[in-house]
Amino acid sequence: MSNPFLIYKADKKIAGEITLAGSKSISNRALIIRALSKDHFQLDRLANAKDTELLIKLLESKDELRDAGPAGTTFRFMTAYLSSKEGAQVLTGTERMKQRPIGVLAEALKKLGAKIEYLGKPGYPPLRIGSPEKFGQEKELSIAANTSSQYISALLMLAPTLPKGLNLHLEGDIVSRSYIEMTLNLMQYFGVRYSWEGNIITIDPQAYKGKNFIVEADWSAASYYYALAAFAGELDLQLNGLFEDSVQGDAALVEIMKHFGVRSTFNENGVHLSKIEGHQLPEVFEWDFILCPDIAQTLAVVCAGLGVRGRFTGLSTLRIKETDRIVALEVELAKVGVKVYEDSTTEGLLIVEGLADLSQKPTFDTYEDHRMAMAFAPFGMLGQIKIKEPMVVVKSYPDFYEDYEKIGFRVER
């Protein structure tokens, strides 16, 4: 176990320039598409995230045992990828990974002809994946639409390589639609045609067309700077690598952060953040995070830091992330006197209530969840805080603390 980091900033001025690393979500999808393609092509500005490095390593591995560690996206994408390949492999991960369900995806792949066996608890990792028999002879496949979008994305990326393609029926209400659209947009960039009518996505058998690709910076990572922007008294910050016309759902930050007085101005290098003059904070901030669940933790911290009541919906996937993020938010924000609770009158409604008191130098736990560490770090602008197991950030943003130091934070390791 590593020692906690003490994080704080002496003033409320945020100025400077940060070049964000490539998006992990885009990088991992592009790597799977390249692995499924007969063409080799260049991928520039790939994420330097541990998850992405793990995926590259697993795709290149010839070992029978492949360990995805704590990387959920990597595990799910590799499950689908290996299901279509000859030979027998075991795919495993950390103890926490063995508690994260994979059954919805595994059972869907089995219907396509995959040979998958659960080596522990049914429906959970680790998996033994054998050579498939008549893989992809069945074109019609149904999957619950309120499950992880990564299951759906894993199936979609495989679809054009199947002998008959795929008609994927999404049953029920679709969550994380933006991540499904991200996958389809990337597939389209690499030459794949598809149709999405109602709840059916149709992809005929076809080949990916290799062409060079530049990975956009990560909007999830940008959220940790937008939080600082909301807390700042003076603001002049440039974030490089972000696109105005983004395929990432977390680009909703541009609209969301107007509520907190942050203006986003796009330029040739990325986006410039400044204050909206004379802006009044809302008494209540309401947002449906169905398209951008990964920034919900950051916005909970923003609401708490400013004393704005938050009403969050669309959080159904937060319980099956690296940790149960709803419980984690309840526990950690309680340390600074902020109440987080689910409203029993409306399904999926989370309330954030109170103004954070950081006078006691709170220590925040991270639960092996990179987003807990990074979402709570902006509190360091309002007081001295400690973050336990701080290096969990390597999962998606290894340079996080160094980049915070560039804009004047003190990080005592």
Residues noted as catalytic: 294
Q: Are strands 270-275 and 262-267 parallel, antiparallel or unpaired?
A: antiparallel
Helix then strand count (H, E) for the chain reads 12, 22
Count the neighbouring beta carbons within 10 Å of the beta carbon of residue 173: 12
Instruction: Answer whether 89's CB lies under 8 Å from 69's CB.
Output: no
Q: Which of 116, 109, 107, 106 is nearest to 162 (CA)?
A: 109
Instruction: Answer whether 100's CB lies under 8 Å from 124's CB.
Output: yes
Instruction: Answer whether 114's CB lies under 8 Å from 89's CB.
Output: no
b/e map 277-302, b = 16+ CB within 10 Å: eeeeeeeebebebbbbbbbbbbbbbb
Say which residue the tokens 């940060």 belong to. Answer: 18
Largest alpha-carbon pair distance within the chain?
A: 65
